């Protein structure tokens, strides 16, 4: 219709330009892999991002090309986010904790043209280099003085930037252009790529800035402990500049004492990450008998936040926001900041409310359905598989027709594989997981892949891999196995046998021998019953400390 609003594309470069202009004093402080700390403001970041964008263009990178990063949280990684996406290429963040097989698969599947890596990850690439594309360019994210010896030809990041102009007119293109790519582990087989668009990324940044508003604020320092290779650090590299908050990037040291010292020094107000890292920080807070000076807000997601952890933070006057989401959702779906009337409730009731996964953010619709796909009431009692819909939810997977075909239901909702209830106040409670995955320290392990690998050992007739509770890692995999004869392979033999296909941390911690596995009516192993049977099971490490 004539006389309507303008259409300006929602591009991530507009966030950077805005922050450079309107939030000149805010910026980024990073613990560098070189060992020191680096700080600059958004205008200074913008100059280097322009230089990097020119350097990428000079190497022929153009709209739609994939450029990979294998890096910790630091300012150079932030620069890559904006430079790559700014020129219309796709920033593919790689998780260094993947197994060698998975890493080889995703780099080839994404057809990455350049791979930027931190010095610490040189051994990872050296080990798989011969399986990566021959014409790949490698750039080490450091200066000449710190360039490591590499068994493959590599460029130096700082040299790449040298001599490039510090200004750029960011190109304008369709807001539905791909912006970044993040692979997530599937229940079996190869990881699947979630491809974010500029539009979805900008909208998601708006969404979290509004729904998680307690964490944000102009001039506040926010610490993404969640890696930039985990769903764009939950959107923080976009939402922080948008609101004029500063980012504190922790580099590789994520243990409690290192985080405490960094937060204290940089006056971090809000910190975001998975429960595993908060175990370490809480222990340090207890050891020191105080919290980091300005610490007032923690966002816990990726796995369920244990009640004791929520209580631990809240008792120190640190407000907990318990978030739920997925790689496929950019990622934030729900967030547990309480409505005002609930804030007035007694402490115990508030903690119980915060242990739930919270209410949906604007832009995400939720439904729970029964086994036949029929929507269930949101009465806090009915439990069903959780489906979601929204502007920042995938409609399929990158170049993966098979997985894409299974992703959505007939009405176009995305199936999360989580089993949940939703109460009349809108609070989501994740009750179980329908997908065959184990989450350890915020990272996935495919139970089906573990089972298939273990079953190729002659001594195992049948087995099931399940996640058992672990105080530090949230869950750890154990194998419940039925022997095929008298001779049972030992745990070490099983681990040895399957180790070529998995990262070390993905191997099972224990094997439990049983006569038979519980089955469902349709003849599948009933993981639900198995988990019930093992309620009293204790992880070997807990037995040792008991
Ligand atoms: P990812 O794609 O790696 O971010 O993992 C998403 C999955 O992690 C979800 O589908 C849930 O199974 C699980 N998850 C994420 N956040 C939570 C939470 N707050 N409570 C329980 N499970 C969670």
Encode pLDDT of 119-133 as tens digits.
Answer: 999 999 999 999 999
> Given this model, what pLDDT does residue 485 score?
87
Element containing residue 359 per DSSP (H, E): strand 359-360
Under DSSP, the state recorded for 148 is P
**Looking at the predicted structure, is the pLDDT value of residue 405 above 60?**
yes
When pLDDT is averaged across residues 58-86 and rounded to a whole number, the result is 98
**Looking at the predicted structure, is the pLDDT value of residue 332 above 80?**
yes
Confidence label for 34 from pLDDT (cuts 50, 70 and 90)? very high
When pLDDT is averaged across residues 429-437 and rounded to a whole number, the result is 90
> Please, is 50 exposed, middle or buried when counting C-beta atoms within 10 Å of its C-beta (0-12, 13-18, 19+)?
buried
Q: Which residues of 421-439 are buried (b: 16+ CB within 10 A; e: fewer)?
A: bbeeeebbbbeebbbbbbb
What ranges in 98-156 are assigned the alpha helix state H?
A: 100-110, 122-128
Is residue 448 within 8 A of residue 479, CB to CB? The reply is no
**Looking at the predicted structure, is the pLDDT value of residue 418 above 60?**
yes
Total H helices, total E strands in the chain: 19, 25
Condensed to tens digits (0 to 9), the pLDDT of residues 290-300 reads 999 999 999 99
Angle at the Cα of 217 from the Cα atoms of 309 and 271, rounded to 5 degrees: 25
> Please, is 25 exposed, middle or buried when counting C-beta atoms within 10 Å of its C-beta (0-12, 13-18, 19+)?
exposed
> Given this model, what pLDDT does residue 90 score?
99
How many percent of the chain have pLDDT more than 90? 92
> Given this model, what pLDDT does residue 434 score?
86
Catalytic pick among 444, 473, 475, 527: 444
Mean pLDDT over the full length of the chain: 95
Is the omega angle on the peptide bond into residue 331 within 30 degrees of 0, that is, cis? yes
Q: Which atom of ligand 1 is nearest to the CA of 437?
A: 12
Question: For residues 15 and 237, what is the distance between their CA atoms, to the nearest angstrom?
Answer: 10
> Given this model, what pLDDT does residue 137 score?
98
Q: Which atom of ligand 1 is nearest to the CA of 444?
A: 3
Residues contacting 152, CB < 8 A, separation 6+: 125, 126, 129, 138
Question: For residues 197 and 393, what is the distance between their CA atoms, to the nearest angstrom?
Answer: 10
> Given this model, what pLDDT does residue 545 score?
59
Neighbours of 339 (CB within 10 A): 12
**Looking at the predicted structure, is the pLDDT value of residue 68 above 80?**
yes
CATH 3.40.50.12780 positions along the chain are: 12-354
Question: What contacts 24+ positions apart, CB below 8 Å, involve 517-522?
Answer: 517/462, 517/463, 517/464, 517/480, 517/482
Is residue 392 within 8 A of residue 381, CB to CB? The reply is no
Please give all residues whose beta carbon lies within 6 A of any atom in ligand 1, as ranges: 184, 231, 301-304, 322-324, 326-327, 331, 357, 416-418, 430, 433, 439
Under DSSP, the state recorded for 244 is T
> Given this model, what pLDDT does residue 98 score?
93
Angle at the Cα of 251 from the Cα atoms of 247 and 257, rounded to 5 degrees: 95
Q: Of the CATH numbers 2.30.38.10, 1.10.760.10, 3.90.79.10, 1.10.10.10, which one belongs to the domain with range 359-432? A: 2.30.38.10
Residues contacting 480, CB < 8 A, separation 6+: 463, 464, 465, 466, 511, 512, 514, 517, 530, 534
When pLDDT is averaged across residues 236-265 and rounded to a whole number, the result is 98
Question: For residues 215 and 518, what is the distance between their CA atoms, to the nearest angstrom?
Answer: 45
Decide if 354 is catalytic. Answer: no
**Looking at the predicted structure, is the pLDDT value of residue 546 above 60?**
no
Å from CA of 331 to ligand 1 middle = 9
Å from CA of 323 to ligand 1 middle = 9
What strand order describes the sheet that includes 359-360?
Answer: 37-41, 27-31, 246-249, 221-224, 270-273, 297-300, 319-325, 332-335, 359-360
Helix, strand, coil share of the chain (percent; to 5): 35, 25, 40
Å from CA of 476 to ligand 1 middle = 15
> Given this model, what pLDDT does residue 417 score?
94
Is residue 191 within 8 A of residue 443, CB to CB? The reply is no
CATH 2.30.38.10 positions along the chain are: 359-432
Decide if 444 is catalytic. Answer: yes
**Looking at the predicted structure, is the pLDDT value of residue 497 above 60?**
yes
When pLDDT is averaged across residues 385-401 and rounded to a whole number, the result is 98
Catalytic pick among 192, 435, 439, 527: 439
Catalytic pick among 17, 328, 385, 443: 328
Max intra-chain CA distance, the chain: 82
When pLDDT is averaged across residues 354-373 and rounded to a whole number, the result is 96
The arrangement of secondary structure in 12-354, i.e. its CATH architecture, is 3-Layer(aba) Sandwich (3.40)
> Given this model, what pLDDT does residue 17 score?
98
Decide if 416 is catalytic. Answer: no
Å from CA of 116 to ligand 1 middle = 28
Tell me how far apart the terminal alpha carbons of the chain are, to the nearest angstrom: 72
Angle at the Cα of 212 from the Cα atoms of 209 and 215, rounded to 5 degrees: 90
**Residue having the nearest C-alpha atom to atom 15 of ligand 1:** 302
For the full predicted model, state whether its pTM sits above 0.85. Answer: yes
Q: Which atom of ligand 1 is nearest to the CA of 328?
A: 2
Fold type of domain 437-545:
GMP Synthetase; Chain A, domain 3 (3.30.300)
Q: Which atom of ligand 1 is nearest to the CA of 430?
A: 21
Condensed to tens digits (0 to 9), the pLDDT of residues 521-534 reads 777 888 888 988 99
Decide if 439 is catalytic. Answer: yes
Q: Could you tell me the CA-to-CA distances from 474 to 309, 410, 440 in Å, in that order?
A: 12, 34, 6
CATH 3.30.300.30 positions along the chain are: 437-545
> Given this model, what pLDDT does residue 544 score?
67
- Of 413, 367, 373, 408, the C-alpha closest to 389 is 413
């Amino acid at each position: 219709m004539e006389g309507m609003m303008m259409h300006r594309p929602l591009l991530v470069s507009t966030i950077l330009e805005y922050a450079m202009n309107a939030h000149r004093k805010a910026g980024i402080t990073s613990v560098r892999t070189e060992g020191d700390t680096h700080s600059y403001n958004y205008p200074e970041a913008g100059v280097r991002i322009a230089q990097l964008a020119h350097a990428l263009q000079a190497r022929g990178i153009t709209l739609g090309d994939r450029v990979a990063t294998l890096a910790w949280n630091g300012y150079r990684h932030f620069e890559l986010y904006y430079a790559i996406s700014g020129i219309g290429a796709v920033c593919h963040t790689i998780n260094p904790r993947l197994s060698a097989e998975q890493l080889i698969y995703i780099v080839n599947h994404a057809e990455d043209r350049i791979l930027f890596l931190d010095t610490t990850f040189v051994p990872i690439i050296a080990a798989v280099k011969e399986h990566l594309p021959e014409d790949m360019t490698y750039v080490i994210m450091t200066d000449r003085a710190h360039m490591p010896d590499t068994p493959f030809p590599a460029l130096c990041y700082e040299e790449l930037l040298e001599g490039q102009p510090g200004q750029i007119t960011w190109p304008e293109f369709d807001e539905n252009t791909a912006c970044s790519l993040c692979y997530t582990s599937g229940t079996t087989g190869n990881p699947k790529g979630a491809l974010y668009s500029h539009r979805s990324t900008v909208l998601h940044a708006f969404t979290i800035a509004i729904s998680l508003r307690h964490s944000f604020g102009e001039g506040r320092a926010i610490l993404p402990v969640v890696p930039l290779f985990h769903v764009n650090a939950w959107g923080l590299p976009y939402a922080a500049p948008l609101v004029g908050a500063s980012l504190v990037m922790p580099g590789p040291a994520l243990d409690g004492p290192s985080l405490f010292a960094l937060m204290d020094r940089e006056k971090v107000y809000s910190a975001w990450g998975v429960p595993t890292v908060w175990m370490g920080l809480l222990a340090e807070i207890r050891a020191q008998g105080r919290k980091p000076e300005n610490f007032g807000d923690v966002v816990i997601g990726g796995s369920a936040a244990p009640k004791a952890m929520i209580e631990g933070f809240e008792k120190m006057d640190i407000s907990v926001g318990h978030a739920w989401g997925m790689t496929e959702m950019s990622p934030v779906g729900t967030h547990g900041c309480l409505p005002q009337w609930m804030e007035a409730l007694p402490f115990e009731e508030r903690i119980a409310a915060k242990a739930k996964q919270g209410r949906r953010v604007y832009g995400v619709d939720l439904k729970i359905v029964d086994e036949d796909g029929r929507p269930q009431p949101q009465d806090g009692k009915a439990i069903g598989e959780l489906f979601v819909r929204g502007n920042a939810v995938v409609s399929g997977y990158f170049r993966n027709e098979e997985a894409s075909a299974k992703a959505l239901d007939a009405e176009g909702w995305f199936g999360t594989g989580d089993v949940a209830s939703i109460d009349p106040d809108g609070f989501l409670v994740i009750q179980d997981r329908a997908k065959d995955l184990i989450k350890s320290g915020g990272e996935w392990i495919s139970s089906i892949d573990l089972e298939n690998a273990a079953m190729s050992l002659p001594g195992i007739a049948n087995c099931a891999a399940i996640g058992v509770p672990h105080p530090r890692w949230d869950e750890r995999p154990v194998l419940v196995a039925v022997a095929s004869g008298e001779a049972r392979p030992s745990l070490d033999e099983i681990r040895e046998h399957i180790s070529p296909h998995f990262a070390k941390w993905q191997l099972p911690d224990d094997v439990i021998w049983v006569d038979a596995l519980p089955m469902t009516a349709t003849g599948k192993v009933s993981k639900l019953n198995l988990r019930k049977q093992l309620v009293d099971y204790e992880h070997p490490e807990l037995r040792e400390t008991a």
